[in-house]
Amino acid sequence: MNSTTMPMTAHAAQAAARVERLLAHPRVADWVLLKGLGRLLVNHEPSAVASLRTSLLKMGASSLPAAALPAMAKVLTVTRRMHEGALSAAREGRPVAWITWPVPAAVVAAFPVLVYCPENFYSVANASGGDGSTRLCELADRHGVPTDICSINRCMLGAFLGDELPPPQLCITANHPCDGNHAGNTILRELAPCPHFSMGAAYDRSPQSVATWARSVWEMIAFLETQLQQPIDWLAVERHARLINRLNKALNHVTELHRNAPAPRLINALAVFWRMVAAAAWEPELADGAELLEEAAVSLVERARRKKAPREPLRVVLGDQAITWTDFSAWIWEEYSGSVVSDYIGHFCHPPIDTSSKESMIEGLVLDRLHMSMIRQSHGTMEYTLDELTTALSEYDADCVLFHGNVGCKHNLALRREIEALCRSIGIPALFLDADIVDRRLIGEQALRQKIKKFLADEGLPR
Amino acid sequence: MIDVVCDAGARYVKLALARPGETVRVLSAHAQDAVDLSLFAQRALSALNPGRLEAVRFYRLEEDLAERPSLLARVRAVSPLRRWAPMQQLESKAVWLKCLSLLDQEALLLDAGALRCRVFERLQGGTKLRVVENERCTAGGGRFVELMTQTLGVGLEDLDLTVSAATKPALLSSPCPVFAESEVVSLLNAGSQREDVLAGVVNDVVDKLLALLGRAQLGQRPVYLVGGLGRWQCIRSRLEQQGIRLLEELLDPLFVPCVAGLMQVQQRRQWARIEV
Amino acid sequence: MSATLAELLSRLEQRSRLELNAHARLAHAHSRPAVGVLCAFAPPELIHAAGAQPIRILSHGYQRAELGNPYFAATHCSLVRRVFDMATSGYLADFDGIVLSTGCDHSRRVYDAWRHAECTPRAVHLLHVSSDSSATAVAALEAELERLSVFLRELTGHKFGDSELSRSIAIFDRQRTLFEAVYRHCARLDSPLSGQQMLQLSLVMSSIPVEESVSILEALLEALSGATAQPQSEARRELRFFLASGHFEQVERMALIERHAGRVVQELMCTGAGQHLGRVDTTLPPMRALASRSLRRLSCPHAADELDRRFAFILEGVQAGRCDGVILDRLSFCAIWAAEAFVFRRRLRARGIPVLELEGELGSLGEGQLRTRLEAFAESIRNATSTT
Amino acid sequence: MKPSYVMGIDIGSLSAKGVLLADGQLRAQFLRGALFSASASIDAVVDGLCRQAKLPRQAVEAFCLTGYGRFQAPFEALEKSEIACHALGAWTCDTALRSVIDIGGQDSKVIALDERGGVLDFAMNEKCAAGTGRALELLAKALGVEVEQLGPLALGQRSSWRKLLVDWALGLFPQVFVDRALGLFPQVFVDRALGLFPQVFVDRALGLFPQGCWGSAGAGERIRISSRCSLYMELDVLQLRREGVAREAIAEAIVEAVVERVLSLASRVPLQQPLCLSGGVAKNAGVVAALERQLGYAPTPLAFDPQLLGALGAAHFAARSLRHD
Ligand SMILES: Nc1ncnc2c1ncn2[C@@H]1O[C@H](COP(=O)(O)OP(=O)(O)O)[C@@H](O)[C@H]1O
Ligand SMILES: Nc1ncnc2c1ncn2[C@@H]1O[C@H](COP(=O)(O)OP(=O)(O)O)[C@@H](O)[C@H]1O
Ligand code: SF4
Ligand code: SF4
Ligand code: SF4
């Protein structure tokens, strides 16, 4: 396999490199990317820059404060390196270990393998145009991948079938938190046969569950040691854990700072971090970037306070997994001067990892993963989701909450009534969009925006 | 001056037009036959014999289905009516609130159309509107009933009669109306009666409406049913059987939204008489 | 067919039509609390040892369209939708408690909805089950079973220890041994039992007291030892199938398959082989042993790492039963069954075993569509065998 | 000697078809819309064929029924699934065929054939009706044309040089500028200006440009119809029309979406060449073209009405049954 069989990855790597270069000059980048293109692309999709559009919107486009650019540059470095690593590993046949989101990847990364997270591929695909992930879903459909599976996983399978993934030497999956992962992994294992380790699933975050998971991780370490014929590098694990602690501390703080009115509008930046945290949380640049972001957030809040800036006319909470092929925050900013103050994905509330012993580190890394967005809300009883939503709605001074309502996400679909009742009791209006978060064939961007517009008008928002 | 309000739905385009204070004329057409709304409006207008210089205001009920109309469409939309004013969007919130305020008690409004079913609720003394909408793949609205009657060879007009003759409603649970067609064919082959199958279809549709009302936390409040489904007695009585308190129909439910729009535009205080 | 066998089978058929709440009432008549179990993860032994009667919650016989609840949408699994409707409509009021498990996204949310809607019975417990069967998962389930015991003790007021548990295990294992004998018998070319009758047997076994099902099984085996069906001539031979199905409660569907395609001689269904095969390892401490069986039996696709074993079981069944093909049947909207079907289809195809994939929902049969598929499948198999 | 007559009858969900063979040679064929009851349809087909061949009914030695209505035969007849019949029917037309894609009214199937026209393997659509003739009918109706016109309309889109030209021109001229430019003039002026010309002229002038290229999807971009659900597809079609997208473009999007649906079946039964299309939808030239485009090769054309292939296969089954007896 060579790099020409991974056109989407190659494209994403190039694009990341280009933007990274631009970000070296934050001021220019601010004008060109955020204020220029960013504003233009909110409402238009000219084919010449279509491939940039989704990535830019996901970053927040014109709603992203320029102060965040240095941090974004760091994330981009990690992103580019990940793409390039995948390309070169595929080219040179270096060992690759596939992981899925809930696997404490920092432990795997303490072995000499390239850690790769195929579940993230939707974002790679969308870097080559807003319909990249949709095309992969189509490809998966063509190969008979059942449509009952959540499209994030169908997209991952499409990527495999389209030869977009570096071939794995090992595969470590956790059938957690949802049927989508479970089903996607089942098929992936069949299509890409290689030694495989499955972590099972703990249902909640009780001490027993965490202990169970930790035990699985120990088993995983043993598995990796036999497979790679190499002992785990505990120093690396510790280094990773410390870096993750730095990262989490900063990003938790950035999340919290959005309680301020006006909010620093860095939710999108957080979501961008999330994607890399899923795949490469232990990279030093990521921790550096997180701290830069924290700095930016603090100064933004400070400046707003100094200037006595008024509260935004509209504060929006995104209550579930955001659509991957477009983003609304720039549009909300342009259209209503509103900001997104809390998001299901860009919400960091990770506990610190205790690095004092191997055991405590493993437990800490497990708990860290269980606190990762998407995983955090998808396990446990409905209270896990409802409590978090209650916090977001009541403490972040929200005006309304939008749910993208991923059609393939069955456990969230079953919560809809309770969520509606909760919003009603708190007195915050909620909108369900019924979109597919990866496959844009179901309902398009314009229709979604129209829905939001109408909803806001009905509710008399912005105030 | 004449006001025209157009409600372009998924299956029917509905029109209400009147001079202020006069009886309202209503008119409907299949959506595929009235794609050009302004043309349709113009045809309808001629029935009122507008004077040469009489102003006409043309409104369209804002729909969230509408995407950004293309340049040409925008030009097209105004051109047939260019002697008068261009088509205006009528904010739907105001219309639904108007509709709710015209009811003499606090009720929920259930708009059950061809594909989409929604429940509207008035909050905070009428300044806010809360909407609960069905999910996309529960296409159990009027379109489902239409397709089934077609498959079974029953006229839409005869639906009520047919359903009332049912003795043992069939159980259908295919969520997809199009596919349910073949299920229905096999039910018939297995000896089910047409009446029973149709009653099953109606029960199915009502079940979905009930789920929607459940999500809207209906409680003890009454419901005002509008939209095409409200035209059928069988739907209404089935809802009532299930313990829903329905308000009496004031006018043809199909036209309630556009007539309410007209009431809103002309600032009328009560429902006008309508004439088809 | 001997008279006693015919009698036995017709009695079985009648009982399989009995409604769920009737079973619960019967349990009460014997002054035993009735505990419903939605998926087969909760070991029946534990409930039995607590002095209650385990009854598998199934929705056959429930006559209501089930779309009218605001919790589960039309795109949720129909089993879950129907069961939840049963819970809200008071159909399960005769039960004393319910045990649910985290089998899939649909079923685990039943627990949440149950607590928030007005469901009966109120006593409901959620069993956390990992989606694999590693030693870690077994240990975790063991701890979970301890929690379940507490729930059961509170529910029944009946204290029980390891000795009661061992006794329960012994009797359930006896049942399993007997069931296995019947199941093996079905694989024989001259077996008079049809797939439909096997399903009826399984359904009855999942809802009546274990002591009774042991005696039914004994009688059945005795009757079977004498009876054999007419051997068929090779040309007019009925086709024989292996059925792996998520429609594990629909006798009519099984009947339809047998009418239009051929006899189902071996199966992997969550009420049949999946629930009743595989004994408890008595060398382990009882709780550990139960946890281990619960995860490692041939269940639904929930245990991801047992997929190869399930597939091996299908292959064995195909061989033992001299099956002409495999039918994979599943409930619509279930992602994990769909994924497993994808894998099995590929593997079966690679081995040249004909395979038919079906899907559908509980509550409606869709006979016309099924029939076309089944007949075409049978025809294609006949074609293939006549050319070779 | 008197030839031996056999009849194959295919009662589908939408249409009833029949073929009469005399000593294996085609004698008569018949097609009509399905009647409400299957047995009435069967009778109608039998009568129709007999009338054409000027034969009494008793002269027919064997009948074979297929399609959804086959279970309701009012007389003794062989029954075969439509999958087997379409396979055999296609094979008798061209024995080299290895796959058949049958798109009928209610279902679509992909069939793999063996060397003797038997079914090796097949896949059939489940659950969603979005890839069937019925869906095409609904969508054609929403488009305001008959289903027969849908194909030519979709093809029209392809060959329009004007579209290519305008696409190209507009590609240079991003929509933004158009919007901005238009925004400069208040709507009234535009109206006034247009008002000066009689409507006909305006329409004529605008008609020079196919509407599709002005569509909201943006110039040059292929419009899409969400291929997930036929009912929502219907709504999409309507919406696109209201936006002023050209019918040709919509028609093309429709057939593309339907073909996409059908081809997802092909994953279960790998398609082998040569391949042919059967069922009523095979008459839709747009579908054939879209299929060719998506497959990368052309389906083999047959010298027989594809909609009648099922009935033809059934007739051959009837003839075989005579030989066996
Ligand atoms: N007499 C009637 N003729 C036609 N359709 C009717 C009639 N009565 C009720 N309907 C139903 O009304 C539905 C359309 O309702 P409507 O409110 O216009 O929906 P929408 O606004 O979504 O188009 C049709 O699907 C049909 O089922
Ligand atoms: N002349 C035609 N041109 C295009 N499409 C046609 C034509 N005739 C029939 N069709 C299509 O064929 C479908 C009917 O196919 P058919 O094979 O007869 O279905 P069935 O066997 O289920 O009755 C119709 O839904 C229509 O879409
Ligand atoms: S969206 Fe839902 S079903 Fe899909 S991967 Fe996320 S949690 Fe799983
Ligand atoms: S065609 Fe049917 S199953 Fe498919 S999306 Fe529409 S309503 Fe749902
Ligand atoms: S069939 Fe699938 S979705 Fe339904 S309860 Fe079983 S595992 Fe869950």
Place C3 in a pLDDT band, splitting at 50, 70 and 90. low
Can you give the pTM of this predicted structure? Answer: 0.88
- Looking at the CA of D140, name the nearest ligand: 2
Over the stretch D238-282, which tens digit does the pLDDT of each residue have? 888 877 777 888 888 888 888 888 888 887 787 888 999 999 999
Distance D147 CA to ligand 2 centre (A): 8
Task: Please give the Cα distance from A180 to A200 (Å, whole number).
Answer: 14
Distance from CA of A339 to the nearest CA of C (A): 31
Sequential DSSP letters for C123-190:
-EEEE---SS-SHHHHHHHHHHHHHHHHHHHHHH-----HHHHHHHHHHHHHHHHHHHHHHHHHHSTT
CB environment B174-203: b (16+ within 10 A), e (fewer): bbbbbbbbbbbbbbbbeebbbbbbbbbbbb
pLDDT recorded at residue B137: 58
Q: Give the whole-angstrom CA distance, residue A191 versus residue C163.
A: 47
C287 touches chain A (CB under 8 A): no
* Mean per-residue pLDDT, A333-359: 94
B12 lines ligand 1 (CB under 6 A): yes
Q: Which residues of A67-102 are buried (b: 16+ CB within 10 A; e: fewer)?
A: bbbbbbbbbbbbbbebbbbbbebbeeeebbbbbbbb
Residue B76: what pLDDT? 46
Closest CA to A96 of A9, A183, A184, A200: A9
Average confidence (pLDDT) over A171-184: 86
Cβ contacts below 8 Å, chain A against chain B, sum to 55
Measured from the Cβ of residue C382, the count of other Cβ atoms closer than 10 Å reads 17
Q: Which amino acid is at D181?
A: A
- For D64, the 3-state DSSP assignment is strand
Q: Which residues of B touch D234 (CB under 8 A)?
A: 10, 143
Mean pLDDT of chain A: 91
Ligand 2 atom at shortest distance from the alpha carbon of D31: 18
Atom of ligand 5 nearest to the CA of C78: 4
**Cβ distance D248 to D154 under 8 Å?**
yes
**Cβ(A440)–Cβ(A151) below 8 Å:** no
- Residue B87 pLDDT: 66
**Residue-level pLDDT at A278:** 86
Residue C258: closest CA among C377, C155, C166, C139: C377
Asked if pLDDT for residue C114 goes beyond 90, the answer is: yes
Amino acid at C103: G
CA of B112 to the centre of ligand 1 (A): 9
Residue type, A281: A
Q: What is the C-alpha separation between D163 and D220, in angstroms, rounded?
A: 9
Q: How many helices (H) and strands (E) does chain D have?
A: 12, 9
User: Which pLDDT score, from 0 to 100, does residue D198 have?
Assistant: 47
Q: Where is average pLDDT lowest: A274-288, A330-344, C136-150, D269-283?
A: D269-283
Asked if pLDDT for residue C371 goes beyond 60, the answer is yes
* Alpha helices per DSSP H over C193-321: 195-205, 210-226, 251-260, 273-276, 286-296, 307-320
Q: Contact, D254 vs D150, CB < 8 A?
A: yes
pLDDT tens-digit profile of A4-20?
Answer: 578 999 999 999 999 99
The rounded mean pLDDT for chain D is: 78
For atom 1 of ligand 3, which residue has the closest CA?
A409
Residues making up chain A, counted from first to last: 463
Q: Are the CB atoms for B145 and B155 separated by under 8 Å?
A: no
Tens of pLDDT, residues D191-233: 455 445 444 454 445 444 443 333 333 333 456 666 567 777 8
| Other Cβ atoms closer than 10 A to C322 | 12
Calculate ∠ Cα B68-B69-B70, nearest 5°. Answer: 115
Residues in a beta bridge with B12: B30
Q: Which of C39, C84, C104 to mutate to test the pocket of ligand 5 (most atoms within 8 A of CB)?
A: C104
What would the mean pLDDT of C32-51 be, rounded to a whole number? Answer: 94
The pLDDT of residue C74: 79
3-class SS of residue A449:
helix
The tens-digit pLDDT sequence of chain B (276 residues) is 888 898 888 888 899 988 888 889 898 998 888 877 777 887 788 778 777 667 778 888 876 544 444 444 444 444 444 444 456 778 888 888 888 888 878 889 999 988 888 899 888 777 788 888 877 655 568 888 888 888 888 888 889 999 898 888 887 766 566 667 767 777 777 778 888 988 988 888 888 888 888 888 888 889 999 999 999 999 999 999 988 899 888 889 999 999 999 988 888 888 878 887
Distance CA A286, CA C250 (A): 54
- Per-residue model confidence as pLDDT tens digits over D224-239: 666 567 777 888 888 8
Q: Inform me whether the pLDDT recorded for D74 exceeds 70.
A: yes
- What pLDDT is recorded for position B174? 62
- What per-residue confidence (pLDDT) applies to D208? 45
Pocket residue to mutate for ligand 1, from B7, B12, B178, most atoms within 8 A of Cβ: B12
| Residues D8 and D84: beta-carbon distance below 8 Å | no
Chain C neighbors (3+ CB pairs < 8 Å): A, B, D
CA-based R_g, chain D, Å:
24
Quote the pLDDT of residue D128.
Answer: 64
Q: Is D189 exposed, middle or buried (0-12, 13-18, 19+ CB in 10 A)?
A: exposed
Report whether pLDDT(C64) > 80. Answer: no
Lay out the sheet containing B108-112: strands in order across: B128-133, B117-123, B108-112, B223-226
**Cβ atoms of residues A61 and A79 within 8 Å:** no
Token representation of residue B147: 């397709």
Q: Is beta strand B2-8 parallel, antiparallel or unpaired with respect to B12-18?
A: antiparallel
Q: Tokens representing C19? A: 């409604």
Mean pLDDT of C78-84: 90
Q: Which atom of ligand 4 lies at the shortest distance from residue D127's CA?
A: 3
How much is the pLDDT for D237?
86
Which pair of structure tokens corresponds to residue D181?
């430019």
* Nearest-5° Cα angle at B6, B1 to B9: 175
Q: Does A230 touch chain B (CB under 8 A)?
A: no
Decide: D68 and D9 in contact? Cβ < 8 Å: no
Q: Is the CB of B178 under 6 A from ligand 4?
A: yes
pLDDT > 90 in chain D, percent: 26
Among C106, C91, C167, C4, CA closest to C361: C106
Burial class (CB in 10 A: 0-12, 13-18, 19+), C354: buried
- pLDDT exceeds 90 at position A450: no
How many whole angstroms separate alpha carbon D235 and alpha carbon B10? 6
Strands A114-116 and B56-61: unpaired
pLDDT at A4: 56
State the chains in contact with A (3 or more Cβ–Cβ pairs under 8 Å).
B, C, D
Chain C residues closer than 8 Å to D121 by CB: 354, 380
Q: What is the ipTM of this complex?
A: 0.86
Distance, CA of D171 to CA of D213 (rounded, Å): 10
What is residue C195's predicted lDDT score, i.e. its pLDDT? Answer: 94
In this complex, do D175 and A144 lie within 8 Å of one another by their Cβ atoms?
Answer: no
Supply B215's token pair: 């999500």
Greater confidence, C127 or C62? C127
